[in-house]
Chains A and B, each alone.
Chain A
């Protein structure tokens, strides 16, 4: 099956610093990648959709200048949390889809971000 990796799996950073999370599709080309945020015991909340080579589309209420998304290749997307604050602490999950073949989304293992 399709495999998606995320790095790092856990990260702790200080308030005011920036953190980059990578999402890679390992065995397929991901024309579209999605970034989600999940709070404890809650469902996944879509933050943004990115297509390779174009600007990401952000969901309402998600600050694009705070959550920078880059989808530079068909196998890599990055999410950078800029000037992180404790309220940005969360579980961030990416998913990838080869929309030319199927609409199925395959999820990465997630990144636990803790901002102190």
Chain B
């Protein structure tokens, strides 16, 4: 089956620093989604990417859909304590009725005030 490699697995950063995480796949995806999950909660959609090469921002978050359609990155600028959580990438491939997501293993972000 499809596999997503997400890195880094975890990171500790100082408040105010920028953060970057990425996902790579052995297969092509038509859609990339980035989610954030807080402990004991469901994932919350941050950014959705639909076109190869697309660069999309949501506040301090920026994500890009790789040109090869096999990778995506998420950047967080000027991190703040509430950015703490686990970030998941998810890829969605095409196909009749195929809406399933393949998730990365997550990046756990810790922000030191």
Contacts and interface: CB of A to CB of B under 8 A. Distances in A.
Whether both chains belong to one complex is answered with: yes
Interface of A: 1, 4, 6, 32, 34, 42-44, 46, 49, 51, 91, 93, 95, 97, 99, 102-110, 112
Range of interface residues on B (Cβ < 8 Å): 20 to 34
Interface string B83-111: 00000101010000101110111100000
Interface stretch (B11-19, B33-41, B60-68, B71-79): B33-41
Contacts of A112: 40
A97 B45 CA distance: 12
Given A42-B105, A102-B48, A105-B33, 6 more contacts: A4-B42, A34-B100, A46-B100, A99-B97, A107-B44, A108-B42
Interface of B: 31, 33, 35, 40-45, 48, 88, 90, 92, 97, 99-101, 103-106
A103 B88 contact: no
A98 to B, nearest CB: 10
A103 B99 contact: yes
